[in-house]
Structure formats: C-alpha cells, structure tokens
Structure 1
Amino acid sequence: MTPSTTAGAAALVREALEVYGDDPQAAEALRGYARRLAEPLRIAVAGMVKAGKSTLLNAIIGEEIAPTDTGECTRIVTWYRHGRTPRITLHPITGEPRNLPLKRVDGRLVFVLDGVHAEEVERLDVEWPAPALQTMTLIDTPGIASLSQDVSARSVRFLTPEDSASEADAVIYLMRHMHASDLRFLESFRDTGAGRSGTVNAVAVLSRADEVGAGRIDSLLSAGSIAERYSRDPNLRKLALGVVPVAGLLAQSARTLRQPDFEALQMLATLDRTARERMMLSADRFRRSREPEGLTEEARSSLLARYGLFGIRLAVVLIRNGYPDPTPLAHELARRSGLDPLLDVLDGQFQARAEALKARTALVAVGNLLDTRPRRGTEHLAASLERLQANAHEFRELRLLAALRTTGVDLAPELAAEAERLIGGHGTAADLRLGVDRDSGLDLLAAEARRCLARWRSVAESPLTARSAVDACRVVIRSCEGVLAECARRDRQAQSA
C-alpha cells in the first residue's frame, strides 16, 4: 500500500466527518473507521460448529487463551488484541462494560462470565501481551449453521452486515468438508463491502486435517490432496485464495508444548515399533495400555486431549529420529501440523496487503454512507471517493484478481495464470510474484522483473490482444514496475549499508 493511498483514505474519512459532523450516528461510525486505519488488521476466524476455530486461534497466537469447550463463551464474538497487561472486558448489550476476573487452570485461560448469559453479551475483548497480536487482531466467532439459530445469526450479522462494511477486514474460514453452507457464507462475505475488492480477503482451512486419515501418520498427506482438489474447485476458487490443511489440535499443542508432555512422549519413544502401533490402534486402547511402565492413565489422557493419536504418533517418531529436545520438537510439530504454511499465507496475503484491506474498508464505509444517507453538498466527497478507488494500484490489483477468479479476462489461459501470479495472487513478495526461488538474489529478481515487464508491454501493444484485456495488461505492467522499483530500493539500501 503506497503512503499516498493510505493518506488518501484517511483524508477521505476526515472529509466525510466534516460533511456528516451533525449526524451523531454517522460521525461516530466514521471516527471508528478512522481508528481502524491506525489499528492492526482485523482477521476473523469463522466456520461451522466444532470446526476447530478456537483451537486454531490459540495455535496462531501461541497461547491457550481462547476457550475450546462448548460453554457459554464459545457462543460470544470474542476479540483478541495486543495489550501490555492481560485484561478481559465484557461488553453487554445493555449497560456499561466491565472487567472480568483473570483465571488460569493448567496453563489455560478460563473465562468467568460472572452469571451473565451469552445472549446478553455483545462481545468480549481480550487484551494479551502475545507477539502475534501486535500485527493483527483476531476475532473468534460462534459457529455458522449452529443448531441454535440465535448463535448462528450472531456470527452472520457480525461478519456480513447488510448495510455496512464488515467488522473484519479478512477471514480465515474453517471447514471439515466443503458443504453448500460453506460456499454460501463465503459468497456472503465476498458480497459485503470489504469483500467487493476481491477474493484476497478470504482463505479457507481444511480443519482437523489429521482426522482425514483416521489419525495415521500420513494423514496430512491425504488432507493435502483433498485441499488441493478443493482449491481447484471453481465454486470455491472464486471465493477464497486457497485451501490450507491444518491439524489444529496438534498446532495448538506444539505451540504450547509443556515439559510433562515432552517427558511422557520420550517414555513412549522407548517402546519398539510393534508395541507402539498395537497400543495406538484406538484412543481407548492407548488410554488403558500398561506400557511403558510409569506412564499413568492420567498422563495418557492428557496426551490424547492435547495431541490426539496423530500428534502422539508423529511426536514419538520425531523423537526417535533426531528431535531429542523440546524446542526443536515443538517447531517441527508446528511445521508438520500445517500451521506454518497457513502463517505464510496470512503473512504473504493478508499482512502484506493489510493497509490496502483496511483502506478499502474505510472507502466502502464512506460509499455506504453516501448511498444510505444522501444529502446536498456531497458531490466533492463522491468525486474524491471515485478518484481514490480508480487510481490506487492496490485496489486495481484486487479488482483484477477478483475478475480473474470469477468472470475471467479475455486472455489465453497461460497469460491469465501469469497475470494472477504477477499481481500477487500467490503472495505479494517479489519472489512469489515472479515465480522464482525465495532465496533468489536481487540481480535475478530484477532481471526476471524486466523480462516480465517487456513481455506484458508486448502483449498490451499486440493487435491480437482484445481491447477488454488491455486494462488488465496495464495493471500487470504496473505491478512489474513496482517489483523493479522495490529491487532498486533494496539495492540502494544494500550499497549504503
């Protein structure tokens, strides 16, 4: 996001405040959008009931602070923000906000609603000094398609409001299988104001991926094949950037690996393979096993609850094959859980476009205001909005990405695929745009960017290129020029260092 575009969005909101300053409701909403421009990106975690939303959220944060049981708190929209000191604030539907007591049980944060029922709560705000929350605010939402219509409606209203921009700038959508209800929700989210900029604001997660292969050690490979097939599905492809398989329970426990867990896993690693496989035929059999001596039933139950059979199998194999210490084991378990690829997607797609997504939300808010509360003297505001939407290259990339994923562009298939990559459809880093190795040097990046630039200039100037595709070519050309400018900037920095 260029500074001029970010500043333009902020200036537009200020301009709208001058026009609507006498409307208390509109002015308060606009001040909220102005604050959002300065805040971290808001990413909602959504999905059906029992999809593993809170577990995945804990894994991303790296601490067990989101409730994963079926209690009252899982029915409440809960915000997780960065704060210097831990604090939980309850915002009731009626009445003043109040702080809730902080309580830890076995390392897990426990929410105490103090007699308040979920239907009486608008939201919970959790401030926590987790490094991951410095760059993003995570929002845990109740299950979509819940048996309770009220619970389901709460998530839908929050994420896909009818007459305003969504409270979330982007969404991680969890699904265990691809159902029509999943597609309907993603379609609704895309159709909100924030979503109209393109599909870049949604990523799908094939959750509980270890269950795809019944907990076998190759379960993630099977889940990866399914996720790849889903990502090519034309109905889903136009709604989400891709599908990432994640074993959420393993990811959470890997990020919060405890010494007693490691010691129990070490004990299991002393058994020979035949004995291990025999005891892990089922969870009940594992719990009742007497081997190895010294591993109590309570310890076994704890391992099952935290890792599942898949995680236990994988951890034991890793310990036996060169991971004898807790820290490297935790990192490898997190990587193999699928969490690292998901974090790469969040970084390369959401965080890299954070300013564009937040600015887009602000622009949509101003546009909605002009549509729903028209008044005289707003012509200059509408003109400023149109100019900013038309001229900001980041928005043009998002619109082209949406077109390539939905209606299509009049380009040959190989050119359309290259265009999607060059405008950041696979990630906004230079190597991802250019399709080269991550460790490629600046000279190689610059040479490849120049080659792509020349190619797309030629395509744009060709009489065989349809007129409807020329604008798309210009967007790709501008993206190539941006990569070249970035290479030049990095080269100057290297020379001056």
Structure 2
Amino acid sequence: MTGSTVAGAAGLVQEALETYADDPAIAAVLQGMARRLAEPLRIAIAGMVKAGKSTLLNAIIGEEIAPTDTGECTRIITWYRHGHTPRITLYPKNGNPRTLPLKRVDGRLVFVLGDMAAADVDRLEVDWPSPALRNMILIDTPGIASLSQEVSARSTAFLAPADTHSEADAVIYLMRHMHAADLRFLESFRDTEAGRSGTVNAIAVLSRADEIGGGRIDSLLSAGEIADRYRRDHNLRRLALGVVPVAGLLAQSARTMRQQDFEALQLLAGMARANREKALLSADRFVRSAGPEGLTAEVKAALLARYGLFGIRLAVVLIPNGFNEPTPLAHELARRSGLDPLLELLGRQFQTRAETLKARTALVGVESLLRTSPRPGTGHLAAALERLQANAHEFRELRLLAALRTTGAPLSPELAAEAEALIGGRGAAAHVRLGLDRDAAPNEIADEARRCLLRWRALAESPLTDRSALDVCRVVIRSCEGVVADSFARQRQPA
C-alpha cells in the first residue's frame, strides 16, 4: 500500500470531519473511521453454531481466554485487543461501560456478567497482552443460523449491515461442511458496502477437521482433500481467498498444553501398543478402559475433552518418536492440527494488505456518508474520493481479483491463474506473487518480475489479445512494475 494512498484516506476522513463537525452523530462515525485507520486490522471469526469459533480464536491467541461452552457469553460479540494489562470491559446497550472482574476457572478465563443478561450487552472488549494481538484485532461472533433468530441476526447485522460498511475488515469463516447457509453469509458479507468495492476478504476454514476422518491419525489428510475440492468450487472460490482444514480443539490444547496433560499422554504412550490401540477405539471405551496405572477415568475424560481422540492418538505416537518433552510435542501437535497453514494464509492474505483493506473500508464509509447524508459544499470530498479510488493501484488489484474469481477473464486458464497470482491473489508479498521461495534474494525477485513484465507487455501489445483482456493486462503490468521497482530499491539499500 503506498503511503500516499493511506495518507489520502486519512486526510479525506479528516476533511469529512471538518465538514460534518456540526452533526454529532456523523462526527462520531467519522472519528471511528479515523481510529480504525490507526489501529490493527479487524478480523472477525464467524460461522454456524458449534463450528468451533472460540476454540480457534484461543488457538490463534495461544491462551484460553474466549469461552467455548454454550453459555451466555458465547451469545455476545466480543473484541480481543492487545493491551499491556488484562482487562474486560462490558458495553451495555443502555448505560455506561463497566469493568468486569478477571476470573479463571481451571486455567480458563471466565466472564462474570453479574445481573446483566446477554441480550442487554452491546459488546465485550478484552484487552490482553498476547503477541498475536499486536497486529490484529480478533472479533468473536455468535453463531450464524442459530436457533435463536435474535442471536443470529446480531452477528449478521454486525458483519454484513444493510446500509453501511462492516465492522470487520476481513473474516475467517468456519464451516464443518459447505452448506447453502455458509455461501449465503459469505455472499452477504461481500455484498456489504465494503464488499461492493470488489474486495474478496474472507478465508474459509474447514473446522473440526479431525472429525472428518473419525479421529484417525490421517484425518487431516482426508480433510485436506475435501478442502481442495471446496477450494476449486466456483461458488466458494468467488467468495473466499482460500480453504484451510484445521483441527481446532487440538490446535487450542497444543498451544495451551499443561504439564499434567503431557504427563498423562506420556503414561498412555508407555502402554503396550495392543492395549493402547484397543482402549483408543472409541471415546467411551477410552474413559472406561483399565490402565495405565495412575490415570483415572476423570483424568482421561479431561484429556479427551481437551485433545479429542485425534489429538491423543497423535500424541502417543509422537512421544516415542522423539517428541518426548512438553514444548517440542506441543509445537508438533499445533503444526499437525493445521493451525500453521492458517496463520501463514492469514499473514499472506490479510496482514500484508492490512493497510489496503483498512483504507478501502474508510473510503467506502465516506462514500456511504456522502450518499446518505448529502449537503452543500461536499463536492471537493466527492472529487477527492473519486481520485483516490481511481488512482490507487491496490484497489484496482482487489477489483480485478474479485472479477477473476467471479466473472472470469478472456484469458487461457494458465494466464488467468498467473494474473491472479501476480496481483496478489495468493498473497501480497513479492515472492508469493512470483511463486518464489520465501528466502529469494532481491535480484532473483527482480529478474523474475522483469520476465513476467515482458511477457504481459507482449500479451498486451499482441493484435490477437481480446480488447476486454487489455484491462487485465494493464493491472498485471502495473503490479509487475511495482515489484521490479521495489526490488531495485531493496538492492540499493546498504547491507
């Protein structure tokens, strides 16, 4: 994202603030836009009831601070921000915000609402000193398609409002299988004011992936095949930047492994293989089985609740194969849960274009304001908005990405796939655009970018190229030129 575009978006919001300074309601909205430009990217976690949203959020943060039961708090929109001191603030629909007590039960954070019902709470905000929250704000939302229409409507109104931009810049959408309701929600998120800008800003997660294979050790392989099929599905491809299978329960427990967990798993790993495999045939059999000595039915039930059969089966295989300390085992379990690929995709698709997504949201907000609350003397705002939208190459990339994933382009499948990669469809970093390794040197990146630039220039100049494909070529060429220029600048930097 160019600094001029970011500064232009911030300047436009400030000008709008001066213009509408006499309207307190509009001024408050604009002040919110200004804060939003300065804060980290807002990523909402959405999905149907029991899709595993809070569990995945805990896994990303690396601590059990989001409630994962079916209590009142899972019906409330909850924001998780970075803060140096832990704090929970409740914002009621009516009245002043109040600080909730910090309380842990069995290592988990518990929200004590007191006499406040969930229906009367606008939102909760949790400040927490987690490194994962330095670069993003995570928003946990109630289940879509809940049995309670009020709860479901709360999430939909927050993420996909009918008459304004979404409160989230991007969405991680969890689904156990691809249902029509999942597609409808993703469509509505993309059809919000921010979505109409041409931004595809959702990642789909095939959650509870270990259940697809019945908890077998190879469950993630089966889930990966399904995710690949979903990734190629035209209906989902136009709405999501990728599909990742994740065993959320294992990811959460691996990232928050306790010493007693490791000791219990170590005891199981020491059992005779035949006895262990017989005990792990089912969850009920595991809890009721005899042995090993020192492992009670209560401990087994607790272990099952935290890791599931998949996690236990995987751990007892890994321990005798070199992962015989808590930290290495926890890291390997987290890796095998599918969490690492998700975090990598988040970095490639959201974090590297965070400024673009935030600036686009701000511009869409100003555009909506000028349309719904017009007044004399705003012509200069409309003109500045139009210039920013037309001249910012990052926005043209996002619009083309949306077009390639929906209506397509008059190009061969190979060229269309290359165009999508070069404009950042697989990630905005230069080496990802070009299909190079992460550690590629600046001169390697520059050389490959030049080759791509020459190829697409030749395509644009060819008399055989369809006129409607020229717009695609122009955007791709400009993206390649940007990578070349950036690579040369890096090469000139002192070592």
Q: After TM superposition, list the pairs within 5 Å mapping 1:361-376 onto structure 2.
A: 361-376=361-376
CA contact (8 A) 1:60 1:132 kept: yes
Aligned to 2:486: 486
- Kindly provide the amino acid, as one letter, of the partner of residue 251 in structure 2: A
Aligned-residue RMSD, C-alpha: 1.0
Aligned to 1:408: 408
Q: Distance in 1 between matches of 2:173 and 2:198?
A: 16
Distance 1:329 1:199, change over 3 A: farther
State the shift of 1:198 in Å: 3.4
Aligned to 2:319: 319
State the shift of 1:235 in Å: 0.4
Q: Distance in 1 between matches of 2:367 and 2:199?
A: 20
Q: Distance in 2 between matches of 1:332 and 1:138?
A: 25
State the shift of 1:244 in Å: 0.4
CA contact (8 A) 1:199 1:239 kept: no
Aligned to 1:108: 108
Q: Distance in 2 between matches of 1:99 and 1:288?
A: 44
Q: Distance in 2 between matches of 1:284 and 1:363?
A: 55
- Kindly provide the amino acid, as one letter, of the partner of residue 6 in structure 2: T
Q: Distance in 1 between matches of 2:99 and 2:368?
A: 34
- Kindly provide the amino acid, as one letter, of the partner of residue 147 in structure 1: L
Runs of 4+ residues over 6 Å off in structure 1? none
Q: Distance in 2 between matches of 1:62 and 1:364?
A: 34
Give a deviation string over 1:452-473, Cα, whole Å, max 9, x none.
0100111111111122221211
State the shift of 1:24 in Å: 1.3
Indicate the SS of the match to 2:109.
strand
Aligned to 2:306: 306
Q: Distance in 2 between matches of 1:4 and 1:106?
A: 50
Indicate the SS of the match to 1:369.
helix
Q: Distance in 1 between matches of 2:464 and 2:371?
A: 41
Q: Distance in 1 between matches of 2:490 and 2:307?
A: 43
Question: Where does structure 2 lack aligned partners over 5 or more consecutive residues?
Answer: none
Indicate the SS of the match to 1:227.
helix
Q: Does 1:153 align with 2:133?
A: no
> What is the TM-score when the length of structure 2 is the normalising length?
0.99
Indicate the SS of the match to 1:410.
coil
> More displaced, 147-156 or 466-475?
466-475
CA contact (8 A) 1:87 1:126 kept: yes
- Kindly provide the amino acid, as one letter, of the partner of residue 381 in structure 1: L
Aligned to 2:178: 178
Give a deviation string over 1:355-391, Cα, whole Å, max 9, x none.
0000001000000011111112211111111110111
Q: Distance in 2 between matches of 1:371 and 1:171?
A: 26
Aligned to 1:396: 396
- Kindly provide the amino acid, as one letter, of the partner of residue 432 in structure 2: L
Q: After TM superposition, list the pairs within 5 Å mapping 1:232-243 onto structure 2.
A: 232-243=232-243
Indicate the SS of the match to 1:200.
coil
Give a deviation string over 1:165-188, Cα, whole Å, max 9, x none.
100000000000000000000000
Q: Does 1:357 align with 2:354?
A: no
> More displaced, 442-451 or 390-399?
442-451
Indicate the SS of the match to 2:43.
strand
CA contact (8 A) 2:352 2:428 kept: yes
Give a deviation string over 1:83-140, Cα, whole Å, max 9, x none.
1101001100001100001001111101100121110000001000001011000000
Q: Distance in 1 between matches of 2:197 and 2:436?
A: 27
Indicate the SS of the match to 1:88.
strand
> More displaced, 25-34 or 431-440?
431-440
Indicate the SS of the match to 2:200.
helix
State the shift of 1:404 in Å: 0.2
Q: Distance in 2 between matches of 1:329 and 1:62?
A: 15
Question: Where does structure 1 lack aligned partners over 5 or more consecutive residues?
Answer: none
Aligned to 1:434: 434
Indicate the SS of the match to 1:438.
coil
> More displaced, 203-212 or 192-201?
192-201
Indicate the SS of the match to 2:168.
coil
CA contact (8 A) 2:197 2:364 kept: no
Give a deviation string over 1:256-296, Cα, whole Å, max 9, x none.
01111011111111123221110011111111112211112
- Kindly provide the amino acid, as one letter, of the partner of residue 233 in structure 1: D
Q: Distance in 2 between matches of 1:397 and 1:197?
A: 11
Q: Distance in 2 between matches of 1:400 and 1:415?
A: 14
State the shift of 1:146 in Å: 0.2
State the shift of 1:199 in Å: 4.7
Indicate the SS of the match to 2:17.
helix
Give a deviation string over 1:17-76, Cα, whole Å, max 9, x none.
122111111111001000100000000000000000000000000000000000000000
State the shift of 1:490 in Å: 2.4
State the shift of 1:163 in Å: 1.1
The alignment of Structure 1 onto Structure 2 pairs a total of residues equal to 495
Indicate the SS of the match to 1:91.
strand
Q: Does 1:34 align with 2:34?
A: yes
State the shift of 1:329 in Å: 1.0
- Kindly provide the amino acid, as one letter, of the partner of residue 318 in structure 2: L
Aligned to 2:252: 252
